[in-house]
Structure 1
């Protein structure tokens, strides 16, 4: 048993190891082109613009984002230019982060907020409706301020108006 195994050695000699043949290939980022990192935007001084569609939703923060009447706005980017992640800061100090490597959409922001508030009862929330988001570069470049209000602030939908007329 002290003899060397020549057949095994010869088999191994002809094979190149993975380390020598494998070039260092790094997987391309999963993010879409044009989607920026919020810290890069701050370094370059590029200002954010928040989607105006978030202000008229009348969405209750402890209900699912799918309850929003106009489902099309959920697909739109929350900010221009689109970012991979952004912090959402509430007036009482709570902070949540919305993330999406292909660009944070309004739905991503709503999902992040809903995750924090879904277990809260209606009577626990002083301001249960989303009024919109505000970006204040003086306060923080990387955060959006979340504004809430007491009522939905939306006029009755056309379906309800038609039902009332009949």
Structure 2
């Protein structure tokens, strides 16, 4: 009987969950690390670019959007502009600073697009009425590498430009409305 008692612990150790090397569930067997598919090569952290002293170029299309900040980015006439990257080289996130102190952050692991920037601005202003905004139209972004490398300054203007190809009459009508 003593021989049987000694055998039992040996057989129990094979099924004991504390000793068993096999994971308790299939999800635990997966390695715990960041997915490589979510990081895109050629897209940089702005902090890394700052250390390298790299220059950023803001897409000039942002100045021609004629977009009202309290309206959805889907109202932009040229939808193809929304797909363009906001900067060259592409970055994963950027802080957008408004002159009155508001700051929002646009993020996209595949590179921040113009639409990403407009989305975060719209999220802040969507509940504001037109008469609450002094300068309701986006005029563009400015990057001042000396003042703050990791932020873009958001510029706004009083009225939207006439649609491309439009004359002064159309601009006058949009100012009246």
Q: TM-score, normalised by structure 1?
A: 0.83
Residue correspondences, number: 155
1:18-65 alpha-carbon deviations (Å, 9 max, x no partner): 5xxx79662334121100000000000001100000000100000000
- In structure 1, the gaps of 5 or more residues are 162-166
Quick one: which of 141, 146, 156 aligns to 1:133? 141
8 Å CA contact 1:86, 1:143 repeated in 2 = yes
Residues 57 and 154 in structure 1, CA contact (< 8 A), matched pair in contact too: no
Q: Which runs of 4+ in 1 moved over 4 A?
A: 22-25
Question: In the alignment, what sits opposite 2:26?
Answer: none
> In the aligned structure 2, how far is the partner of 1:56 from the partner of 1:116?
21
* Pairing 1:71–2:79 present: yes
- RMSD between aligned residues: 2.6
Instruction: Name the TM-score, length of structure 2 as normaliser.
Output: 0.78
1:1-166 alignment, distance < 5 Å:
6=9, 7-12=11-16, 15-18=20-23, 26-29=33-36, 30-155=38-163
- Return the offset for 1:15: 4.1
Distance 1:112 1:23, change over 3 A: closer
